[in-house]
């Protein structure tokens, strides 16, 4: 079986870009119904030396996330030095989360960090092709592309 992104995976924006700061970002909630797995990806921008970033996945049964709790071991942590934190990714990959609704928190501690956004990739769909999230405004699948 061949996997292609458009028919087999779904992507959603959980949090837009955030200016430099040390506050915690709580993402919107994603409904994982119809999928066995979801990867949450936080994208950094300009990160100050000593900034500590912690991406934590949460899950719950309420669609508004009001009962969401941290998932054991679903944490990715990174401490930046003067050159290592800019334009990087933190990823928490969940297979068969214990609840239907998932969100994340991105804790920015110690020093300022710019966040370019947080996305979720839903995969291991129960049925294919999947219906893409509204955030996808254009997508094309090309099989065996030929030179122009």
Q: What's the Rg (C-alpha) of the chain?
A: 17
Quick one: CATH architecture of 5-125?
Sandwich (2.60)
pLDDT in tens, 32-89: 999 999 999 999 999 999 999 999 999 999 999 999 999 999 999 999 998 899 999 9
| Whole-number percent of the chain with pLDDT over 70 | 99
Report the chain's mean pLDDT, rounded to a whole number.
95
Token output for 60 = 């719950």
The CB density around residue 15, as the number of other CB atoms within 10 Å, is 22
d(Cα 116, Cα 139) in Å, to the nearest integer?
22
Q: Flag the least confident range among 8-17, 36-45, 132-141.
A: 132-141
């Amino acid at each position: 079986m061949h996997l292609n992104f458009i028919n087999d995976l779904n992507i959603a924006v959980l949090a837009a870009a955030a200016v430099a700061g040390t506050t915690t970002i709580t993402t919107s909630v994603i409904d994982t119904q119809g999928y066995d797995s979801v990867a949450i990806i936080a994208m950094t921008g300009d990160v100050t030396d000593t900034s500590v970033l912690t991406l934590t996945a949460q899950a719950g049964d309420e669609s508004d996330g009001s009962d969401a709790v941290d998932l054991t071991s679903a944490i990715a942590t990174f401490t930046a030095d003067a050159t290592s934190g800019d334009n990087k990714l933190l990823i928490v990959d969940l297979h068969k989360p214990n609840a239907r609704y998932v969100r994340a928190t991105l804790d920015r501690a110690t020093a300022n960090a710019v966040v370019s956004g947080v996305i979720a990739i839903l995969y291991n769909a129960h049925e294919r092709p999947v219906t893409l999230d509204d955030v996808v405004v254009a997508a094309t699948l090309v099989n065996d592309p030929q030179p122009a």
